[in-house]
Amino acid sequence: MASRVRRFIAWGKNPENARNVAKMVTGVTFFSLALYSMKRVIPGHVGIIEDRTGNIRPYIYDDSQLVIAIPFWHKIINVRLIPVKKRFIREYKTKDGKDVEVRFLCRLQPKVHWVPEIYLKFGKDYGRGFLEQEAAIDIEEVIKKYTFKELVEGSEEFQDQVAEEIATRINDACVFHKIVIAKEETVVAFLDPEVPVE
């Protein structure tokens, strides 16, 4: 064993061998970094590149592209383009101070050219971010105009009218934030939070 170690040390002292090892380490490192810098966008998504400081490149990459990014500095963010169905359930105060549970179901899709701005505002899960930041405000504004009895026990026609008002306000917010909402698939329901759902 000791003779092998001595032979290896003697082999390493040879300048030609040291140069060959340096070339090998440099080549392996370079090609490893080159392979690691190639990122692929997931099918059905678009990709954007974000660096460690939070800055985003002004380019959008589709799912047929191979993206070159600086390893350890850039990361690729895949944003889903296929319409995503989101459910939003929250309690709000009515005009008479009672709590009413609002269940909101919709289908959202980003406009492709605005994906970087949508990501900066709402994050990768833009649907959830939009509903929590924007839709919650619109729903609250509408709900506080009506009483608990009107919303929960009112006629179906009246409930549809309030639901349409909420859907219209959220549709306007979607237009402003460059998100497409399937208005015909939007469902709004008003429930008593004290009564268990069967």
pLDDT over 90 (residue 15): no
Task: Give the model's pLDDT for residue 90.
Answer: 93
d(CA 157, CA 176): 29
pLDDT band at 198 (very low <50, low <70, confident <90, very high): low
Query: Which residue is listed with tokens 């015909």?
Result: 184
pLDDT over 90 (residue 28): yes
Residue-wise pLDDT for 110-147, tens only, equals 999 999 999 999 988 999 999 999 999 999 999 999 98
Task: Give the model's pLDDT for residue 167.
Answer: 92
Residues 6+ apart with CB under 8 A from 127: 84, 86, 108
